[in-house]
């Protein structure tokens, strides 16, 4: 019997090592797998490459990972925010490398990795600083930039419900990058509010099929989250 559920966040991230490339779901805090990130911080690993839309908000999640000095490089679209002070400080101190990627290119490059493409020609960024030095091509009168897929060793994502085969459904806009990151990483670890019996998720509404998910951990929503979601 295949059961992908893990007893704890700590157990689920126990083989993430120094230097790993880790995708982290979420758009701001919506969909951010906070407890998985906490467990990753507790492991003490360093020199991570993090792929996330942002570069942390406030004190938790990706921000905490940066604050603790664990991130060598971040690939993201929107690092600078009113509460991105840990990233800002690390960036200004030269302690973190930034690869700034337009959000749609970020999504498309992650999706390309999950779909096994070798590269894509993307319309976004042509003629801008973010395409400087990159190969371009005109196709049917439109200019495109050559971009590689973004792969990762691990993806840490947050979903609403999961089952022992790894099938996932999400909640509202917390879905965001979860489904495509799950497809692009070698090992996808999903924290879910609830692990339900097999078959309880309607086969028509599964958003992430279990093939894309290697580990599932049930994490009850924290008091803070409940308050936020109230």
Partner 1 sequence: MNRLTRDQMAARVARDIPEGAYVNLGIGLPTKVGNYLPQERDIFLQSENGLLGMGPAPAPGKEDWELINAGKQAVTLLTGGCFFHHADSFAMMRAGHIDICVLGAFQVSTRGDLANWHTGEPGAIPAVGGAMDLAIGAKQTFVMMELLTKQGESKLVEACTYPLTGLACVGRAYTDLAVFDVGADGARVVEAVEGLSIDELRVLTGVPLAA
Q: Looking only at residues 9 through 68 of this chain, which bind its own copies when binding is defined by CB under 8 A?
A: none
Q: Enter the tokens of residue 67.
A: 């604050």
| Residue 94 is a binding residue for its own copies (CB under 8 A) | no
Stretch that binds its own copies, among 53-61, 74-82, 94-102, 111-119 (CB under 8 A): 111-119
Binding string, 194-223, against its own copies, x = CB under 8 A?
--------x-xx------------------
| Residue 134 is a binding residue for its own copies (CB under 8 A) | no
Place of tokens 């409940």: 226
Distance CA 125, CA 147 (A): 11
Distance CA 224, CA 119 (A): 41
Work out what residue 100 binds among its own copies, partner 1, none; the CB cut-off runs from 5 to 8 Å by kind.
Answer: partner 1
3-state helix/strand/coil string of 159-179: EEEECCCCCEECCHHHCCCHH
Q: Looking only at residues 159 through 198 of this chain, which bind its own copies when binding is defined by CB under 8 A?
A: 169-172
Contacts of 86 (CB under 8 A, 6+ apart): 56, 59, 63, 64, 66, 67
Pair 149, 119: CB distance under 8 Å? yes
Minimum Å distance from CB 127 to partner 1? 4
Q: Enter the tokens of residue 15.
A: 């083989």
Minimum Å distance from CB 119 to its own copies? 5
Point out which residues bind its own copies (CB under 8 A).
Answer: 108, 111-112, 115-123, 137, 139-140, 142, 144, 148, 169-172, 202, 204-205
């Amino acid at each position: 019997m295949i059961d992908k559920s893990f007893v704890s966040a700590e157990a689920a991230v126990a083989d993430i090592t120094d230097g790993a490339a880790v995708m982290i779901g979420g758009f701001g805090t919506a969909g951010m797998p906070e407890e998985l990130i906490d467990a990753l911080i507790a492991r003490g690993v360093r020199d991570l490459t993090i792929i996330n839309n942002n570069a942390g908000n406030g004190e938790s999640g990706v921000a905490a990972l940066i604050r603790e000095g664990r991130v060598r490089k971040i690939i993201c679209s929107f690092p600078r925010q009113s509460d991105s002070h840990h990233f800002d400080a690390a960036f200004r101190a030269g302690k973190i490398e930034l690869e700034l990627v337009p959000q749609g290119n970020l999504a498309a490059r992650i999706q390309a990795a999950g779909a096994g493409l070798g590269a894509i020609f993307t319309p976004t960024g042509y003629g801008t600083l973010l395409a400087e030095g990159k190969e371009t091509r005109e196709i049917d009168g439109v200019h495109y930039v050559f971009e590689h897929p973004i792969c990762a060793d691990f993806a840490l994502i947050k979903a609403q419900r999961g089952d022992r085969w790894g099938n996932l459904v999400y909640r509202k806009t917390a879905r965001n990058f979860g489904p495509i990151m799950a497809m692009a990483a070698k090992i996808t670890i999903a924290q879910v509010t609830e692990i339900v019996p097999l078959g309880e998720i309607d086969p028509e509404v599964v958003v992430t099929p279990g093939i894309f998910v290697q580990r599932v951990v049930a994490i009850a929503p924290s008091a803070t989250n409940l308050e936020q979601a109230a």
